[in-house]
Amino acid sequence: MCQDHKPVGNPSHFEGTEQEKSTAHAVDGTFAQYTQGMKFFDPHVHMTSRTTDDYQALADAGVVALIEPAFWLGQPRTGLASFKDYFASLVGWERFRSSQFGIKHYCTIGLNSREANHEALAEQVMEILPLFLQKEGVVGVGEIGFDDQTAAEEKYYRAQLELAKEMNLPVQVHTPHRDKKKGTERSMAIALEHGIAPNMVIIDHNNEETVKSVLDQGFYAAFTIYPFTKMGNERMVEIVKHYGPERIMVNSAADLGISDPLAIPKTAALMKIKEVPDEHIRLVTYQNALDAFAQSGQIQEADFIHGLEIDQTQKFNGNTILRGGQAPRIDKDSLIIR
Ligand SMILES: [Zn+2]
């Protein structure tokens, strides 16, 4: 998540101007007519900060699986217990909540760059990471990397790269908004220095300035589509047309700030309108993310490709998503393949 020090402005991963005139709005509401039958995998979305309406909209739009990276929550945590509870919710309640809308939920676990600067607490968080990284459905170490590019950020980025290497997990790297080019190059150089294969590293929040070097060095290049920012989906279409689909993936990074959880289906619709081949759309909105994070050994496509069976009468630790008197949705007829 964005760790923007300026007192104004909210976009979490990018600082953007509002000048971008985007056909995203034109596609809004009509995008579904272009994406019939398509399935999507969002490899970066902070569902903890979203509503059940968002889950329903994602399911309706064809998002069958997603990855929720551990991140900063908008204000600094003051103790280890809040990290612990947050990580536990990513593999517990949030995963349950997602399942109630038929969406397979995975997560990455890590110490984010902003909170790496609180060294006393960071040390304690490092100690509990291995425990959570071993849990089922944890598909990588993330999102980690640089924010202000401080010495403490580098120290904990390196320590977590070592952890990823030991546990043979992919790494999801958040790149900084300020000095992005430099921060991105530095993130990649350090990963290589630690002997991590570039295909195990997903460099996130790319733009036109960073993409070529990321792809040339063999890393995965993820792009966050945010409304009113520099990387609107029209520019995303141009990038896919220019570079092709290999190792590129699109995400929404929807979070507590102004963002759009439907960024992937909307971008797919725009690609379709702009005549990007269907197979290229499938690769950048589904398959490449799946391939990258399946290297964790924690993703079985068969678990979600035909949809999850939804039974909203289910409970998690005695809790349900239903509120007094609501009728549960139960799909007893859904087609499950094991
Ligand atoms: Zn994020």
Indicate if the pLDDT at residue 12 is higher than 80. no
Query: How far, in Å, CA of 50 to CA of 3, rounded?
Result: 19
- Over range 40-56, report the average pLDDT: 97
Integer CA distances (angstroms), 259 to 14, 67, 206, in order: 11, 16, 16
146 Cα to the center of ligand 1, angstroms: 13
195 Cα to the center of ligand 1, angstroms: 25
Grouping H, G, I as helix, E, B as strand and the rest as coil, residue 5 is coil
Higher-pLDDT residue of 338 and 323 is 323
43 Cα to the center of ligand 1, angstroms: 10
111 Cα to the center of ligand 1, angstroms: 12
Residue with tokens 């992937």: 264
Per-residue pLDDT, 28: 60
Per-residue pLDDT, 84: 98
Please return the burial class of 2, using the count of CB atoms within 10 Å of its CB with bins 0-12, 13-18 and 19+: buried
Integer CA distances (angstroms), 326 to 31, 312, 318, 320, in order: 30, 10, 16, 11
327 Cα to the center of ligand 1, angstroms: 33
How confident is the model over 279-323, as pLDDT tens digits?
A: 999 999 999 999 999 999 999 999 998 878 888 888 888 888 888
As residues whose CB is below 5 A from the ion ligand 1, the structure lists 1, 71, 253
How confident is the model over 214-242, as pLDDT tens digits?
A: 999 999 999 999 887 767 889 999 999 99
Please say whether the beta carbons of 227 and 195 come within 8 A: no
Nearest CA among 26, 21, 32, 30 for reference residue 265: 32
All residues at 6 or more sequence positions from 82 whose CB lies less than 8 Å from its CB, including other chains: none
Banded model confidence at residue 324, pLDDT cuts 50, 70, 90: confident
Per-residue pLDDT, 315: 87
Nearest CA among 269, 280, 276, 215 for reference residue 245: 280
Per-residue pLDDT, 260: 93
Indicate if the pLDDT at residue 136 is higher than 80. yes
Q: Is the peptide bond before 185 cis (omega within 30 degrees of 0)?
A: no
How confident is the model over 265-280, as pLDDT tens digits?
A: 999 999 999 999 999 9
Angle at 151 between CA 148 and CA 153, to 5 degrees: 60
Per-residue pLDDT, 331: 63
